[in-house]
Amino acid sequence: MSYVSVYENKTPRSKGLIMTGAVHAAIIAAVIAMPAIVVPDRFEGTILAIPERLQPPPEPVIEKEKPDVKTPSPMQQTAPKPQIIDLPPIPKQQYAATSPVSASEGEGMAIPMETITIAPEPVIVGARLNTRYADRFQPAYPPGQLRLEREGEVSVRVLVGTDGRVKRIELIEAPHEDFWKATRKQALSKWRFTPETRDGTPYESWITLKVRFEINS
């Protein structure tokens, strides 16, 4: 069975033969162009096996611990102890003996020294009630206060004269005016004192007294 080519008016058989021949020619050309394989001669000597030297492993790096550096503490400075030095004793200075100088020797004038006498303190004896007139000291009881059965105490200041009599009287405290009046009347008329003296000389002076009014049962 045959086929007719519509392009080149050739049969497909003729075209296949041509392509097959071209392929064969290319293969032959490639074989010719390949280099020849050279087979080395057989070695008949002794083969020594030399072991490969292995490099020793590197020594491990050991990090050294850093020593603890201690900061020195500041030194305390102590004051030096005082040294006691024994000094030699100082010799006493010798003075030449001098003879007393009389007032007649020399040209200077002697100045007389006044003797200063310190007077002793005066002896003071205070005023006091004269015991010879002790029975006149108590005033008469005020009748009004006696009827009411009232008791009381009067405080007064008295100026005693050089003759021992009362020159002046002042009230300090009284529970009632009747007690004060009775005391003043008795003091100015009946009271007698021994006056104050200084080195035996009488002086006026103030004294404080209390008069007690009591009802005797």
- 11 pLDDT band, cuts 50/70/90, is very low
213: how many CB neighbours lie within 10 A of its CB? 23
DSSP code, position 64 = P
pLDDT at 37: 54
179: how many CB neighbours lie within 10 A of its CB? 23
The CATH classification of domain 124-213, taken from the options 3.30.2420.10, 3.30.465.10, 3.30.70.2340, 3.40.50.300: 3.30.2420.10
pLDDT at 7: 41
Dihedral angle sign, alpha carbons of residues 11, 14, 17, 19:
negative
- 216 pLDDT band, cuts 50/70/90, is confident
pLDDT at 116: 83
Dihedral angle sign, alpha carbons of residues 197, 201, 206, 209:
positive
Is the confidence at residue 147, as pLDDT, over 80? yes
176 touches 213 (CB < 8 A): no
User: Would you kindly state where each structural domain of the chain is located, as residue ranges?
Assistant: 124-213
Rounded CA-CA distance 180/157 in Å is 12
Is the confidence at residue 132, as pLDDT, over 60? yes
Higher pLDDT, 24 or 166: 166
The overall longest dimension of the chain from CA atoms, in Å, is: 207
Q: Which of 99-108, 109-118, 121-130, 148-157 has the lowest mean pLDDT?
A: 99-108
Is the confidence at residue 113, as pLDDT, over 50? yes
DSSP code, position 98 = -
DSSP code, position 129 = E
Our CA dihedral for 165, 167, 173, 177, rounded to 10 degrees, sits at 90
pLDDT at 188: 97
Segment 23-28 mean pLDDT: 66
pLDDT at 123: 93
Burial class (CB in 10 A: 0-12, 13-18, 19+), 183: buried
